[in-house]
Amino acid sequence: MESFKEFLTVFIPLLIIMDPLGNLPFFILFTQDKDPKDKGRVALVASSAACLILIFFAATGNFVLSFFHVSLPAFQLAGGFIFFIYALQLLGLIPGGMKTSSEEEQEGVEKENVALVPLATPLLAGPGAITAVLVWRESGEGGYPFSILIMAIFTSCLITYLVFRFGKVISNVLGVGGIRVLTRLMGLLLAVIAVQFMVTGLEQII
């Protein structure tokens, strides 16, 4: 039961940060000229690549922080700040564009293979998701178990794949309004998580 609770504690925020529903319009835009088989391949490659990127940072978290001489509380404060900006974007309170620039989005429309850039990174495995994985790996007494992190990453990427794979159906069922409502609800939850990250970092510094 405790392991399942830890899994949910990592999985839910990570899925919100990766934001498959919010990134679905980008996927549809970037693959608009592809046939269903190619769209499925792009969805698989993008979600798999994002999964590998996040697993890499989960496995090397301690080395990364030590190499740059960054303390965990500092990383938690920075991570909380990044999450809060993401949350404000999801809530529609500030313009988007933190994960990708307009140039990257235009390049994504024009380039042939969009699965790795910009879909896998920076849209899915972007600064927020990488920061979250690093903090969870090192937080508390030894951080969350590596197996919990791997399960959360894999499940989040699997759901992302399914959202992209059946994106047209989901888009038709929910519509623009439905996706927007769900995105803003996730933004509200992410804002709370962001504040908790910053509070925890400040408590450790004080």
Question: pLDDT digit string (tens) for 10-34?
Answer: 999 999 999 999 899 889 988 988 8
pLDDT at site 141: 47
Kindly list the distances between the CA atom of residue 115 and the CA atoms of 136, 165, 197, in Å, as whole numbers in the listed order.
27, 13, 31
- Two structure tokens written together for 49: 């690549």
Identify the pLDDT of residue 52: 97
Q: Which residue range is the domain that position 25 belongs to?
A: 2-205
Phi, psi of 203 (to 5 degrees): -60, -40
pLDDT at residue number 112: 55
**Phi, psi (rounded to 5 degrees) for 159:** -65, -40
pLDDT tens digits, one per residue of 68-117: 888 878 888 888 888 898 889 888 888 765 555 555 555 555 555 789 98
Please state, in angstroms and as integers, the Cα–Cα distance from residue 165 to each residue in 35, 41, 63, 169, 173, following that order.
12, 9, 35, 9, 14
Is 22 exposed, middle or buried (CB count within 10 Å of its CB: 0-12, 13-18, 19+)? buried
How does residue 143 score in pLDDT terms, banded at 50, 70 and 90?
A: low
pLDDT digits (tens, 9 = 90+) for 154-190: 999 999 999 999 998 998 898 888 888 888 899 899 9
Predicted pLDDT of residue 175: 85
Percentage of the chain exceeding pLDDT 90: 37
Quote the mean pLDDT of the chain.
85
Measured between alpha carbons, how far is 146 from 109 in angstroms, rounded to an integer?
Answer: 36
Give the per-residue pLDDT at 165: 95
Distance CA 202, CA 204 (A): 5
CATH number for position 169: 1.20.1250
- Residue 68, pLDDT score: 80
Confidence label for 152 from pLDDT (cuts 50, 70 and 90): very high
The 10s digit of each residue's pLDDT in 188-202 is 999 998 998 899 889
Q: Total structural domains in the chain?
A: 1
- Helix, strand and coil content of the chain, in percent to the nearest 5, comes to 80, 0, 20
Q: Rounded to a whole number, what is the largest CA-CA distance in the chain?
A: 56
Q: Is the pLDDT score of 138 beyond 90?
A: no
Are 16 and 190 a contacting pair, CB within 8 Å? yes
**Residue range 32-49: mean pLDDT, rounded:** 93
